[in-house]
Structure 1
Amino acid sequence: MTAPRSAGLFAPDILADPYPTYADLRAQPGAFWQPHPNGAGGMWMLTRHADVEQALKDQRLTKDASRVRDVGDQTMPSHMLDRDPPDHTRMRNLVAHAFTPRVIEGQEAHIRDIARTLLGRVELGQPFEAMRNYAMPLPVIVIAELLGVPEDDRDSFRHWSSDFIDGSDFATATPDTAGKAQQGIMALGGYFTELVETRRAAPTDDLISHLVRAEEELGALEPGELVSNCLLLVIAGHETTVNLIGNGLLALLNHPEELARLRAQPTLLPGAIEEMLRYDPPVQRALFRAALEDIEIGGQRIGKGEQVSAVIGAANRDSSVFPDPNAFDITRSPNRHLSFGRGLHFCLGAPLAKLEARVAFEELLHVFPEMKLKSLTRRPSSMFRGLGELWLDGPPA
């Protein structure tokens, strides 16, 4: 067992560019033990593609922390991502109807209208900040409409969610950001509690109304589950897509030859999005799992009750699966990236995220016949990888 250099994957210099460290760790036998920053315990970090894929699919690893230890009070009640079957299956099936291919395909024209409205604010000859003005609001509007959040509430909705993401990562949170995260999740929870009651009195055609019916008529949700799954859909339903658009745009800007190839052959865009997901994934490591029994993964013995973290960002650059893994190649095929997970917890919103990204890039490339990067900032996180700002030179006047 060999520890990574510095403070492991949580050191600021490594978070800025984790991929060289990932390569070092993949070359080590087994897994490595990463202590938690607060000194209380730690977790086994898996970095090779085969090991990460096994961990994502292995039902001997539980997502339900209560099965291996007393978790006490939790910030969020149980939602589908931290439950195992049959509870996970029950909750997932209740929202799955909103993410069928037919439903998602029917949203393309509206998503395009949203993208064009946002890009209508671009001023010729003026710098354009692409995160706050485009990559962030587009997925927020989509998921807010899906849930039935009124337009006037969406700015608050976005800020609460961002505060929660920025301060909920135990590896990078400060007392200030952790406090804001707590305030953000409490505000979101209170907001959805009120919105659920509004929908009980006056149902509409949104997803919350559907979940209310499932709770009342079918008894399919337990107390707290409706609101907690709304919170999950907000956070998982837009944060990852924001990062996909931002990280993908940065990859294109840093590889002008691939950007030129995409402009010359727009039909390459679906494959380019898969490569964006592989090359610089929005989620760097999956939520923790814990061993229900003594198991072995990749030659590493993992004891009952020990935590495991599947490092997706490392697995996506495993040379045993991806030739020339550090190259950004929009025609890469096959592309077996793990950015949406595997197995029972494969991302329900993956088709919607890819549709939003495709439309976002189609419209962005149309408005910006040439794109040049001016500057960027990153949001610190050991789990999510995303940008705070990404400034572009505006289209020529």
Structure 2
Amino acid sequence: MIYLDNSATTRTYEEVLHSFTHVATRYFANPSSLHGLGAEAENLLTQARKQIAELLGAEAEEIIFTSGGTEGNNLAIKGTALALKNKGKHIITTQIEHPSVIESCRQLQELFDFEITYLPVNEEGIVSIKDVEKHIRKDTILVSIMHVNNETGSIQPIEEIGNLLRMFPGIYFHVDDVQGVTKVPLSLENIDLCSISGHKFHALNGCGALFVRKGTRVKPLLTGGLQEMQARSGTESIALAVSMAKALRMSIEKYDICKDDLRKMKNKTIHELTKMNEIVVNTPEQSSAPHILNFSAPGFQAEVLVHMLEQSGVFVSTTSACSSKRKRISNVLLAMGKGDAIASSSLRISLSYENTEHELKVFIDVLKKSLGKLMKVTR
């Protein structure tokens, strides 16, 4: 099996599974309980929070444990919007955000009369800093822009946008870093809120974290208790928190060792794809993350190619996992000006530090054979 769908989810590290099992078995008590077992669990949770904060360049009290990127994005956007609604009701985001961001904004617009500005992107999928500045208004309270696009891997100029927003202290800056964390370094210096998801870096499904800078106002979406600095009620999973901290540390360490090899593998694959007349590469080679590669086969159904590759043991995806089953055309590629034929036939391969050059060679060979079979059928 050759697994090239790591942006959808990654295989959990064995060491992370071991940590999860050990903690879930030994430290199963509720960390809010007053007895000794509860205190042990609370201590482990505190340690995991501190470790994740240090790895991200934050302080422990700025880390809120969540169930993943979708919850983190919802809490960041809706939570700050509801906290600041008396100050203003204007939010700036882009046309290529993850559905959890787009739908959060849409819900605020429909239910609470917020105004949303969806910024365009250029042909490489990158937003203009001048566009961000041009659309800032007196009632703007939040700018939400993803770091790495989940479909094409395009990297947004987050540092430059953060520097711009320093001149507007009343505006919060949220970054969806679900696809960037452990693959593309990011400083939190000028960011107020930042979402990550454990299963994107070899932790288990169902865990994530939201960085909330000190002083940032966020209304909780889940109420009923005082957990997570009163920002997210509900009994925390100690096992998920501890194992996610381990996965984050291991993946950051692997970045230092494997980042150059990952980039070389991706660029070599792009080179091989450009040799194929049937293929259009959508991911920019330079201004993109090292692990995501999006391409199209105009005239062929993407779902058919996905299943043909699967029959040969190669697993890829169309669009993002959160929207692929809806069989929708890629809004990201449309925003990049690619047109319907390209946007409706796109596939994505996404790598981890465990993939090899040999696996990608096999992928190219299988893709060529699959396209050859399809061309014979359509003639």
Same fold judged by TM-score > 0.5?
Answer: no
User: Relative contact order (alpha carbons < 8 A, sep ≥ 6): 1 or 2 greater?
Assistant: 1
TM-score computed with the length of structure 2 as normaliser: 0.26
